[in-house]
Amino acid sequence: MNEFVFAKVLHVLGVVLWIGGVAMVTTVLLPAVAQMKSAAERVEFFERIERRFATQARFTTLLTGLSGFYMVHLLDAWGRFAELRFWWMHAMVLVWLMFTLMLFVLEPLVLQRQLKQRAQHHPEKTFALIQRMHWVLLSLSLITVAGAMAGSHGWMLSGN
């Protein structure tokens, strides 16, 4: 069972770095950037920082996903996905999928170009959209982390 403990350690470290980074960007960086005078400057600065964080986020989402699926495999816990009381497992996969699609597909292939074009014409609205997207993703992530912690320690929807 040592490999399970190792996978769990990697999983938790991945989540801490990934969601912690999202929390820092959402609650500290974006409000600080919002204080900049020029909307165009805000978007450009944020894109520079976000690019650097994206590398960390890509690595940690990969680590989190691989370790999570490995733990499900080791425990042969696939049947939990058929039970509503394990909603937090569905939520973990959903949040992971959303971020993975965002980081590996949408952001590099679509969003960077679209946001840059939109920012040229509507920098204020673009920055507000970026802030809203981050708050939504952070909120979903925190609900998922809370549910996963409660559920994995025995607190189920049925009240057990």
CA distance 86 to 160: 12
pLDDT of the chain, 160 residues: tens digit per residue: 699 999 999 999 999 999 999 999 999 998 988 888 887 777 778 778 878 888 999 999 999 999 999 999 999 999 999 999 899 999 999 999 999 999 999 888 887 777 777 777 887 888 888 899 999 999 999 999 999 999 988 887 664 4
φ/ψ (deg, to 5) at 122: -140, 70
Indicate whether 48 belongs to any domain: yes
Indicate whether 159 belongs to any domain: no
- In the chain, how many domains are there? 1
Q: Domain containing 101: what range?
A: 2-152
pLDDT for 124 equals: 81
pLDDT for 158 equals: 62
Region label for 154, one of left (φ > 0), alpha (ψ between -120 and 50) or beta (otherwise): left
